[in-house]
Structure 1
């Protein structure tokens, strides 16, 4: 456990004390900026005096510690809430490949409308607290010695309070207040968490999103507490074949020509490679057992997918950055080849698991096996996959069977073919 020491500076002839918590395990200063005062009157006087020097505003708040971070609890009227809150929402079109760089998931306008309708039609409505993030410390003149202290927070005019949880409620209030002006007199509880680490902000978002479940793609993009999601997120950025070509928002790709997989599909493929299965029970039992091996697992996944891409005639097209393949139609490739679909990714990834985590092959043997796997005919029309992974729908179309049983059959076929090509046993 990290040791925390308190460094106290006595100021203004010992009228008040400033406390700065320092985590000696990583030398990172806490975001807390609490100025402890002897009495409530002292705290109030000093807060207003401090605010007067910089044009800041003073807000009453409670301060408490949770999860090793100081939290500030405010009550704000709706008009101030709308004035102070800032959003940084991903856009369904513009941020498909970099949603993890933003704080919030995309706005779901239907959800906003539902909440606004509730506010307009319900007299005794209730809204849960909002959670804001402040990347910079907020100065609070506080008093008290208990676990929960009372204080006066000094908020500069340029303070940036980004919504971690509550963006749909915020937009709903903004919409409803135009039709029901008396809502301006109502208030809401706001919890401000001081955090500058974008990964932790995303984790806060993932932990808070209970009312409206996070789509699988965004869960894989934001939830860094899970080893599988963390490695999927990392490989989507680190490998040129995936970088900019993974849709990190949508549930399905439809006819979008710019993306090869959704984030959740890539996560499923990574589960097959790392654990030899993407079944839910296997993922839940294995993913968090791999902590401490992240770097090794990631490097093996990188080697496998890159070596596969160097040989496979379809994936070779992905070896150039997105900026140099603007005319590449990934939708057409998804229609033509199974390895541009989830089932195909699962099959090749599960065989990759046998190559990297099964028998202790030499580097030369491993390269031979990847070469053979990448050289298989992955076209939908190939006889190799007929009546297992691909079936005729009756109208002459070749339809991919998106079921785990089809993946199991396809994996057996791929293993058989690779063993025949190389003479090396994988099973």
Structure 2
């Protein structure tokens, strides 16, 4: 039994290759799963698959079945393919035939292949869609390893900020872009390209940090709630900015962005995300007067030299932006504003190196209550 595909024949270097249009339903059968983990690294033709990556790719296919996009799979065949040109005038356009039981090894795209297989289980009709596959002849293990190296040598992931800027499907990304222009404190001060700011950058924030902070603030966003949540986020960040005098100084030209970032911590991603997560709790507990509570932000010492940040958002002289640091920072700010902390937040703060004042603030607020 043979498999037939519309294909084109080409030449790269001194090797012929084919580009075939393959139905998704054929992909899992044509490219069998190989567990490279069973072999030592020097005997593998491909990296070990990272199974945790597959669900996200599968979800992308299923949620965007009318609009998803994949680059070509690259594979090597260990068989004798037959190429039949459609016409003498176009000898490199035709039909490619390969034996059904051909040995095919994916050089690039094994995670896409696995995700396609998972997506087909939920939506078999996707099997009629096609993906382009670039096919090279199998030579030996050295060649397979060299192909993998060459295909990945210059690959670079785009920055988180750039992904947000170009992602027109994600609702939080759309809201974040609006906020970057609509909120006066952000306008002109959000870097929409880099994941981190250079020392002399004229910006205060990155788009990625603002996105994560807004996602923490809003939680799930739907098409139906997007307008309302965008308005809430705008009001919230305007209110936060109104209680950050240093942000206003930069907008007024009285302080350089570099000076603010070097001296203060409240424009860094870990604090923005902490403000977002704190804001979600604040609005849920004080839906009518949450803005008044934000006045307490003025009483927080945002300087990097403030020892309270050690073990929370800083380690020595470095700002720390780990997941736990974001959680701890949100709890720290909640405590400073007199908001009720969960047991886990209290334990988290108590284990930090220097947060006695926060716990004292909590006791003081509790006594007043």
TM-score, normalization by structure 2: 0.49
Quick check: which one's helix share is greater?
2
TM-score by length of 1: 0.43
